[in-house]
Amino acid sequence: MNFTFTLFVALLFVVLSPGVLLSLPPKGSLLTKVLVHSVVFAIVFYLTAPMVLQLSANVEGFRRPKSPSSPSDLEYKKQQYLNSIAPAPSAPVASPGALFRVLAPQTSNTMFGYPI
């Protein structure tokens, strides 16, 4: 989350608190008013949060990556990524058991100099 979005949520909470901007239902109990205002907050938040997140991300410099404009762009980026993580062609590739052979202790078939 970013600062602008956090500020938006705090202001929305204050504005939609019972008695600040509106009071629904006018002659209801405190519990009823709180429940109605919580539902109103949830609906307004659900409808406005994506827009505020998008606007605040552009304002604060945290731009979201654009989706690729065509499938070929996606394939190109995929190929770039695969090329970046691929091992260099001149680097020797070890067999899967090479690391085990290096790290495993050397054993022999003798105990105290006698064959087992």
| pLDDT 10s digits, 36-94 | 999 999 999 999 998 888 887 766 555 555 555 555 677 777 777 777 776 655 555 55
Domain residue limits, the chain: 21-64
pLDDT at 40: 92
| Residue bearing tokens 């008695």 | 19
What pTM was estimated for this model as a whole? 0.49
Q: Residue 52 corresponds to which tokens in the numbers above?
A: 């505020």
Burial class (CB in 10 A: 0-12, 13-18, 19+), 24: middle
